Chain A
Amino acid sequence: MKPEMITIDGNEAAAKVAYKISDVIAIYPITPSSAMGEWADQWAAEGETNLWGVVPQVVEMQSEGGAAGAVHGALQTGAMTTTFTASQGLLLMIPNMYKIAGELTSAVFHIAARSIAAQGLSIFGDHSDVMAARSTGWGMLASNSVQEVNDFALIAAAATLKARVPFLHFFDGFRTSHEVNKIELVTLETIRAMIDDDLVMAHRGRALTPDNPFIRGTAQNPDVYFQARESANPYYLEAPIIVQEAMNQFAQLTGRQYHLFDYAGAPDAERVIVIMGSGAETVEETINYLVERGEKVGVIKVRLYRPFAAAAFLATLPPTTKTIAVLDRTKEPGATGEPLYLDVIAALNEAYEGRFNHPVRTVGGRYGLSSKEFTPGMVKAVLDELKQPRPKNHFTVGIYDDVTHTSLDWDKTFSIESEEVVRAVFYGLGSDGTVGANKNAIKIIGEDTPNHAQGYFVYDSKKSGSTTVSHLRFGPNPIRAPYLIQSANFVAVHQFNFMERYDVLRLAAPGATFLLNSPFPPNEVWNQLPRSAQETIIEKNLRFYVIDALSVARETGMGRRINSIMQTCFFALMNLPSLPTDKAIEAIKEAIVKTYGKRGQAVIEQNFAAVDATLQNLHLVPAIPYVTSKFERPPVVPTHAPEFIRSVTARIIEGLGDDLPVSAMPVDGTYPSGTTCWEKRNISDEIPVWDPDICIQCGKCALVCPHSVIRLKVYDPELLGDAPETFKSAPARFKEYKEMAYTLQVAPEDCTGCTLCVEVCPVKNKRQPKLKAINMAPQQPIRETERENWEFFLNLPEIDRTELPLNQVKYNQLLEPLFEFSGACAGCGETPYLSLLTRLFGDRTLVANATGCSSIYGGNLPTTPWTHNREGRGPAWSNSLFEDNAEFGLGMRITLDQRLDAAATLLTQHRDLIGSDLVDSLLTADQSTEAGIQAQREWVAQLKARLEALRLAPTETVGLKAKIENLLNLADVLVKKSVWIVGGDGWAYDIGYGGLDHVLASGRNVNILVLDTEVYSNTGGQMSKATPRAAVAKFAAAGKPLPKKDLGLLALSYGTVYVARVAFGANDAQTVKAFLEAEAYDGPSLIIAYSHCIAHGYDLKYGLQQQQAAVNSGHWPLYRFNPALENGDTPFHLDSKPPSIPLADYIYREGRFQMLTQSHPDAAAHLLEQAKEDIQKRWQTLAQLANPAK
């Protein structure tokens, strides 16, 4: 069969082979490897068979540790087994990996190599994870490109069967896993030829079976463990030979020859770089460029890293080599060098003699951590450094290290890109479909023309209003440039406001084409550009085109999706000889049918209409040779922002974080909180506007606002004297504040436009019921005035929290939220809970946050929404891992308890010195109310003052000074602290459940908030045990067949845990009550909070209605179980009524359920009936708990 040329990404390339040669695939989602498991699951759901004609079993586990265990078990029972993972996931697999290797088991794991969380988490690519696993005894095979991923997936599988050494097959996360490139797909015949059935049978023959019983996995003692460990040596000695044989066989079948180490460059090279992973492609291309220009340089691409075949390595190294730079894409602090460097050093040391008749100097360097760019300029810098008599060792390249001065300088303008390669960069919004269209464009070019093509996509750190940058290359030769485009001959800007936000023309090459989606016609657009953009267009002599794509989209029913329109413009402006415009349009339409065909004719026709309406609206802007603009791009943050914000945060916001030097970075991952307020994103065209005349001041809009954009204050009307002209106010409608004024103020530049506030507003304008007490209006005309109003509002005094009845929404929403303007999705159903939490307890809260959505919108640089009040108090937040969050939070509590004990001990010991009354007040304070807490704060202040005085006073008592210092340090702990353990259902129900259960059983005073979206939201909608029956999710494509785990009832079974199930959109008062009770309960509390989510598949403006429907249908009963009420009152309160609407009325308003009726109608009907039974049964259980006598 002729090999198929196909344009796919690295993950798909790996999965395509892995799937074919697996019986069992056990996985767990983790970026950037999730897609491999998703592909496998999709193919299994579609009934695609493996090499042996059977559909593999694809099973999602509760963690990577669980996946590794399942893999181990499957291997031990003879299945051809694989998994896909990365980063922390691989770390969790390590214990099993030792076992699998120790038992000489044939297996391949495919790894999208990624950074490991250290001073901060990173989802991006480097070799930190695989290097952490290098001692497990697994073979390690590195792929450098999408083609190699496809090839090595098979070579690794063939080799492991023969060698019996298991293999990690790894490639660079994102850079390779997500790069789309044109490859020659390995054929089924090749797979069949490479996978020796006899070896497969031998693997199966080693399986555990009661028909041939033996034991494996013994416990061994000092007498034999050592010898047994050495017994496998021959296999490791043989493994490299076997890998090379597999590579040779593969070459015979495909024509693509690989070696354990491949050399490229001058045969008489004197300077050589050793490297593995995608960076090797960049090095090789650069070396080829330099060799053509006479330089004696070369590169060794390491394919097989473990077992490290030293002899083969040395045989590959040209005898002329004088200096070697070994580049590691990892960091091993404290080591004498990074792993590859040390291996090369050892290899040279062991086999140096006889190979070289001159000294060879070897240096090591680090590059590309967390997908840091690695460019030809950097390669050249390394090679230039090797020319030095004493080249720098342990260097870094790609950053500017002004602290320990490890970095090499590089020429940022150095380029080796051929003029034959077209380079196009597209700036878009996530929501406008730019990336999807570009993926199609790459496929069109790759598959409909003889061109080779490459696509890589850079995403934002925010989930709402996120910017995407697509980098597309194509040309007559294979594209081997795994780095971002540095000089583009086509720049498209799909959102006009980017012109003010970013230097989008920075990458434009002289004479490049510039396409702008502009609401302004060609004769007006010029004056709407900032000065710097005009200057660049003139200076670079850009060909400037505009199209009002949004109007075309609107007129053709596409809404805001301009993808097909901009794609059509791209092809028209490119006008490739191999793909003239008319042919390109045909290809675009074919791609539309391929992409959207399954969704129905109407969608196809709409897209066709948009394509057909495009070209008549595409216009060349007449060149204007002089700058006319009166304005410049505004500063990223205000000039009065704190120094760190201006010098560091602002650079990151602007997309210039790569330019920050090492010295700008906090050394231990500590960053200031309260920084989102400086990042004015202006992402919504419309914002809410208050109508003070009809507002009843209920506070619901503020409660539901996911981004804490709506603020309420009651204040002295006299303060209005200095108010801006348009500042709105109304008499306060509170019985306690009769003479006061009230204002609802919107932060105009932070709103995401979700409209939840409008949806929840209970008031209607009597003349025009379509209007409420809060209504959406265009932002642009009121941005300036509302910005001024917002500033004025912020300076109004905060309410005295000691006087407020906190259990009422109307009152507690007057409190300042200490969680604001997060990057969560517009309309997020999680963040209102966090906002409420911080309003109620934020000034004395510690937050342990599980990895997931909440850790990303909570802690993804550049800014954090966790903030502080005027006194400087606010939530102290940290994220440890995904799996350990409950334990992490428990650790915080234990410390607080210990410190409280220590403080109490010291206070008691020094009662006389401090004063008995004060000590008694401090130790017996009732902190169950805000007033009590405030009183304690004042006593602590007195204590500190007293201690300060004692500290300065002369004393001869041994150790007293130290004790006073200690007590001073401990004093603040005397004010009640609240520990909140926050995370999603993936954490609480799955990966972290063991820890969560242990913490619930600990009896300690922690509050656990589960933001239950019923799916792994952050990694793209994989099923968790919280996913309800009948919902579609990844790994449940045919609908989840089993019911949602009842975490509440499990926790309730302890009888000592406060448990509440809440849904703020259904009953905000019950939610507030649960938060207050949970916090007040002196023991573990668990709040399971219904969180509507983008992964539910509907417009989130209806999130609150859906919460109500979830409760009314019985899907989400509300209750509270308060063990504190055991004596007398019933501890269990059922807070919702029996199901009053059909379940179908709730679920079929959501895509996750509805789409099952379209994809698997019979299963949908069947699962609906079962889900109805689930509800009935659960309701009966809860009703019984509420009324045990009945």
Chain B
Amino acid sequence: MDLSTTYLGLKLKNPLVPSSSPLSRSLDNLKRMEDAGAAAIVLYSLFEEQINQESHTLDAYLTQGVESYAEALSYFPEAREYNTGPDVYLEHIRQAKASLEIPVIASLNGVSTGGWVRYARDMQEAGADALELNVYYLPTDLYMTSGEVERLYLDILADVKTVVKIPVAMKLSPYFSSMANMAHRLDVAGANGLVLFNRFYQPDLDLDNLEVVPNLKLSSSNELRLPLRWIAILYGRVQADLALTTGVHTVTDVLKGVAAGAAVTMIASELLKNGINRLIVLRQGVEAWLTEREYESLEQLRGSLSQMNCAEPAAFERANYMRVLSSYAPDYPWRLHSWGVM
């Protein structure tokens, strides 16, 4: 069965791409992913903010208490150099490239224009086959308009595209007033791929200690629906390749993603939860399903249930919403009341 696909202009043997996660910090894991059938790998993200933070922290370590007291003008030896910049990450790209056959996609989260551009260029030079710009950005500023938020994404893309030749994918959040228009504008601006969607980790509240606590919960298949819908809507309407991320755990999830129109489906929680070898199971399952149903290739499935190709295009829009509500109402009228929708 031909499972091949093309993503960001890269010819991939199947649609299974481990997405950015801590698993990719280890070269061993990268190798194991390749062996288990990953078609490409998105490395963990380089966070400019973290680089800056490390730099400031090191500065604080080396500065604290110095030149204050005659007997202790410093407290630490000065090393000849410190790995404060992106060096570790770039070396990781180099090593990944040296030991893997499959494409390596570097992931970048910047905070400044300079940072986006500088590190994107560095990643290209280190050998990355493509870039994923992970715009993990939560606009909390009361005075920042939606237009300004959108501009931010477009500017980052434009800036990076001017300095790199390798393909660039934009990883987006779903919180745009006009998702379709945003996708279109990014498409026009030259995005080679759109990765839908970024997952914001939601903090939790600890009532015993009256604290807000970070809470990392792995995704589940239930979360597949949101990216699935938007991939289905956008498929065929933008030139950029679509990658589905968040909620891909099972063979069915992968197949649904492709059917909606995804060039690749990206997987992280499933591998974190059940191990890298889940890739083998997923690939075999996809193959078996296609074979059983006598598909010629994966390509034949791609986009078949997109809004463009499916029998009920309205199902992806408001009409679908109304149907869900009415089917839901009898069981939980109180909840719908409290949501203010009845």
Q: Are B81's CB and A1094's CB within 8 A?
A: no
Q: Which residue of A lies closest to B78 (CB)?
A: A42
Bound Cα distance from A35 to B62, whole angstroms: 16
Residues of B within 8 A of A439 (CB): 67
Q: Is A1158 an interface residue (CB 8 A)?
A: yes
Residues of A within 8 A of B63 (CB): 433, 561
Residues of A within 8 A of B210 (CB): 764, 766, 769
Contact status of A1159 and B81, CB under 8 A, knowing A31-B70, A1097-B76: yes
Q: Are B69's CB and A459's CB within 8 A?
A: yes
Query: Which candidate, A285-293, A460-468, A472-480, A693-701, is the interface stretch facing chain B?
Result: A460-468
Per-residue interface assignment for chain A, residues 22 to 39, with 1 indicating a CB less than 8 Å from any chain B CB and 0 otherwise: 000000000110110010
Q: Would you give the shortest CB distance from A600 to chain B, in whole angstroms?
A: 3
Bound Cα distance from A1020 to B71, whole angstroms: 7
Q: Are B82's CB and A599's CB within 8 A?
A: yes
Q: Is B59 an interface residue (CB 8 A)?
A: yes
Among A1021, A1098, A1159, the residue within 8 A (CB) of B74 is A1021
Residues of B within 8 A of A1017 (CB): 72, 75
Given contacts A1021-B74, A1097-B61, 17 further A-B contacts (CB under 8 A): A45-B79, A174-B70, A457-B67, A596-B59, A598-B81, A599-B62, A600-B55, A601-B51, A601-B55, A603-B58, A769-B211, A1021-B72, A1021-B75, A1094-B75, A1097-B75, A1158-B82, A1161-B83
Among A601, A769, A825, A1033, the residue within 8 A (CB) of B65 is A825
Bound Cα distance from A769 to B212, whole angstroms: 10
22 A-B pairs, CB-CB below 8 angstroms? Answer: A32-B70, A45-B80, A429-B68, A430-B69, A435-B68, A457-B67, A460-B69, A466-B68, A598-B80, A599-B62, A603-B59, A606-B56, A856-B71, A1020-B74, A1032-B77, A1033-B76, A1034-B77, A1094-B64, A1094-B65, A1097-B64, A1151-B57, A1158-B79
Residues of B within 8 A of A596 (CB): 59
Q: Would you give the shortest CB distance from A932 to chain B, in whole angstroms?
A: 43
Per-residue interface assignment for chain A, residues 417 to 456, with 1 indicating a CB less than 8 Å from any chain B CB and 0 otherwise: 0000000000001110111100100000000000000000
Q: Would you give the shortest CB distance from B27 to chain A, in whole angstroms?
A: 13
Per-residue interface assignment for chain A, residues 1063 to 1095, with 1 indicating a CB less than 8 Å from any chain B CB and 0 otherwise: 000000000000000000000000000000011
Q: Is A648 an interface residue (CB 8 A)?
A: no
Q: Is B85 an interface residue (CB 8 A)?
A: yes
Q: Which residue of A lies closest to B210 (CB)?
A: A769
Contact status of A1018 and B71, CB under 8 A, knowing A602-B56, A1037-B77, A1161-B83: yes
Per-residue interface assignment for chain A, residues 766 to 784, with 1 indicating a CB less than 8 Å from any chain B CB and 0 otherwise: 1001000000000000000
Q: Is A1154 an interface residue (CB 8 A)?
A: yes
Residues of B within 8 A of A46 (CB): 80
Q: Is B101 an interface residue (CB 8 A)?
A: no
Q: Are A42's CB and B77's CB within 8 A?
A: yes
Q: Is B54 an interface residue (CB 8 A)?
A: yes
Q: Which residue of A lies closest to B48 (CB)?
A: A602
Q: Are A1155's CB and B59's CB within 8 A?
A: no
Contact status of A600 and B77, CB under 8 A, knowing A463-B69, A1158-B58: no
Q: Are A599's CB and B84's CB within 8 A?
A: yes
Interface size on A, residues (CB 8 A): 64
Q: Are B64's CB and A1154's CB within 8 A?
A: no
**Chain B interface bracket (under 10, 10 to 19, 20 to 34, 35 or more):** 35 or more
Q: Is B152 an interface residue (CB 8 A)?
A: no
Q: Is B341 an interface residue (CB 8 A)?
A: no
Contact status of A1032 and B76, CB under 8 A, knowing A600-B52, A1161-B83: yes
Residues of B within 8 A of A1020 (CB): 71-75
Q: Are A1155's CB and B61's CB within 8 A?
A: yes
Q: Would you give the shortest CB distance from B60 to chain A, in whole angstroms?
A: 8
Residues of A within 8 A of B73 (CB): 35, 435, 1020
Bound Cα distance from A31 to B211, whole angstroms: 46
Q: Would you give the shortest CB distance from A1068 to chain B, in whole angstroms?
A: 19
Contact status of A431 and B70, CB under 8 A, knowing A599-B59, A600-B59, A600-B84: no
| Interface residues of chain B: helix, strand, loop or mixed (majority) | loop
Residues of B within 8 A of A601 (CB): 51, 55, 85
Residues of B within 8 A of A1155 (CB): 58, 61-62, 76, 79, 82
Q: Is A123 an interface residue (CB 8 A)?
A: yes
Q: Is A41 an interface residue (CB 8 A)?
A: yes
Bound Cα distance from A784 to B330, whole angstroms: 67
Per-residue interface assignment for chain B, residues 42 to 53, with 1 indicating a CB less than 8 Å from any chain A CB and 0 otherwise: 000000000110
Q: Are B55's CB and A1151's CB within 8 A?
A: no
Q: Is A869 an interface residue (CB 8 A)?
A: no
Q: Is A1019 an interface residue (CB 8 A)?
A: yes
Q: Are B51's CB and A600's CB within 8 A?
A: yes
Q: Are A599's CB and B65's CB within 8 A?
A: no
Among A462, A764, A1019, the residue within 8 A (CB) of B72 is A1019
Q: Are B65's CB and A433's CB within 8 A?
A: no
Q: Is A944 an interface residue (CB 8 A)?
A: no
Q: Would you give the shortest CB distance from B231 to chain A, in whole angstroms?
A: 37
Q: Which residue of B lies closest to A769 (CB)?
A: B210
Q: Is B272 an interface residue (CB 8 A)?
A: no
Residues of B within 8 A of A123 (CB): 70-71
Bound Cα distance from A825 to B66, whole angstroms: 12
Which chain B residues (4-60) contact chain A, with CB distance < 8 Å? 51-52, 54-60
Q: Is B180 an interface residue (CB 8 A)?
A: no
Bound Cα distance from A885 to B42, whole angstroms: 61
Q: Would you give the shortest CB distance from A850 to chain B, in whole angstroms?
A: 15
Residues of B within 8 A of A681 (CB): none
Q: Which residue of B lies closest to A607 (CB)?
A: B59
Q: Are A38's CB and B70's CB within 8 A?
A: no
Task: Report the 6 A-B pairs with minimum CB-CB distance, sorted nearest first.
Answer: A430-B68, A600-B55, A1151-B61, A600-B84, A1020-B72, A1159-B79
Q: Are B75's CB and A1158's CB within 8 A?
A: no
Q: Are B75's CB and A468's CB within 8 A?
A: no
Q: Is A175 an interface residue (CB 8 A)?
A: no
Residues of B within 8 A of A20 (CB): none
Q: Is B88 an interface residue (CB 8 A)?
A: yes
Per-residue interface assignment for chain B, residues 193 to 219, with 1 indicating a CB less than 8 Å from any chain A CB and 0 otherwise: 000000000000000011100000000
Bound Cα distance from A1032 to B83, whole angstroms: 15
Bound Cα distance from A601 to B78, whole angstroms: 17
Residues of A within 8 A of B54 (CB): 600, 1158
Bound Cα distance from A435 to B69, whole angstroms: 11
Q: Would you give the shortest CB distance from A656 to chain B, in whole angstroms?
A: 19
Bound Cα distance from A35 to B78, whole angstroms: 12
Q: Are B75's CB and A1095's CB within 8 A?
A: yes
Q: Would you give the shortest CB distance from B92 to chain A, in whole angstroms?
A: 12
Q: Which residue of A lies closest to B211 (CB)?
A: A769
Q: Would you give the shortest CB distance from A1036 to chain B, in whole angstroms?
A: 8
Q: Is A306 an interface residue (CB 8 A)?
A: no
